[in-house]
Structure 1
């Protein structure tokens, strides 16, 4: 599974969405019924003012042209009623006809404004979706000994481009580098900062031999971008990027991780879920005013058949209608996971049921499975009872 804006209606479907013209028969029938009822009623009973229901109802079913036509028919029906009930010259009938003309014109105007804004929304969604597709180039479904699946859920206000990011790239050696992150904020500023991180990662994944060197390069790129490009005058708030960076060797179970203020990944092994909290967390990328921090890696064991679930905070901060956060670690333990695609499908369906609607914030998932294609040289690296990486002693030696 790999989708950007999985729950967002595509632009083509928005443009081609049925307009409900077939339902216009309802307001037309109302005009006939109200007209006949008014004509057959006593002269002191006035049902003509109810004709305004017809153009108002049409505005919710069709565009301004059809609404104007129904409004004109309603006015014509009011004229017929007036002609059969004392003539067009009475003050009462003149007032009713004038009011119906004014109200019908107002309904047509509102309908036209609504249609114009709908077109603008379609264009905005198209731009946002195109920008996200360009930025989030789909990771390969198979890379080295790994199988990969990803999912991007757009927020409810999908005219805004979110700052969630992820990428998978091969390193110079026999390993795969993975990143998932979340830029503070939304809009063009967020996507600009996300593009800086992804560009630096895709270039640095091949260039730097170690994960600390790569993470330092990401930090330098983000800080340089903030100094040179970021619009801090109009957006004086904090600018930073939470990120999780992994190095997964082809041969060996020892995976290295650096967590820069990002939600911890989940390791799925033998129907168990292990929360991989970092023992050496570092601040998010872009906290340039803080003293430089050394990037120490946190090792953990990633064996054939294991799954790594990476996600952004939009997942665990998604709320149900009664305000409960989505318990990802608890829910994922019950899902069957024969493949990354199946696991993501279960998570997506369960998350949608939990929130009952579109998420209030963008949410991204990345699932990585280790296959048995390569022989592993390292013993299992234990995870202690506090669900933290490694053990109390020094990390095991690197594979030869």
Structure 2
């Protein structure tokens, strides 16, 4: 082993240990759902992206079990070799129907989808204009492309327009934004972004990972939420949040965009195909998300109730109506201390601190599910009330 490399890594790990600390993975047990097992205890789970409660849906699980017996565990080839099954095309068609696009293409994750889009569609004569709070996968995907890059401050449309005007020489200008920003739970100003894209003949791309299945009357996402169906040129999303919590991601859009990605997108070409049982489960989840609006209604009611309860307890809750509820606990280790107190009270949440969020913007991110019962939400509110003792001692 190279001693120089190991010495540097150990030194940097020691510095991180003395500063923000080292992250470690929490080991949980049991099926994903409104509760989760941790160290032999059952905790109310406010830390997952299972927005519609489909991770444990019996219809989906039954479909996956049948597919596992009929099609086996997985595939040992990419889609361009012998890895494509009929279910992949069915799922792509189902996703396209859900989000209102001409076509869709599956990836192993939305991270891979975002890595594969920019380099495939753009070149050195193009420019990407990216919101400053975009997801890491978008940032990394932009870095892999040869297109020029411009970053505008989060939701600062004046700065975005200035960048658009200054890049008039570009062949294509592509505006990219999260549909819902995962740290704040705020929704992109899609109406204004669409207007700017039209004014400057720009391409509009949205990562709708936290909106697909959640926003809009049929769960189509951010565009449907604002009544702007058909306004997004390139849409990416995940099957691993509201749509059943399985693996997989997708790109949806015009058939020419999707076909181009099928031909040249490296993460699509050089990755094994999605396991057929997971594709079967995802297709069942897509159909349920579209056909059972009562799940979104229950999710909205649960979110509104818990937002109000936390506000009544005196917590600073960022405004919004998405099931991501940021509870601001600014400064030092306060967010971590409150999260630890909540776990002691039977509630699982996670504290977010620098570098995940800026210093001074520490918070607990609460995530609500349609599957949470009234009793579970009451327990969570009571736990937050008791955890205020941590605030009193700070």
Question: What band does the TM-score fall into relative to the shorter chain?
Answer: under 0.3
Structure with more contact order per residue of length (Cα contacts < 8 Å, sep ≥ 6): 2
Max Rg structure: 1
Q: TM-score, normalised by structure 2?
A: 0.23
Q: TM-score, normalised by structure 1?
A: 0.23
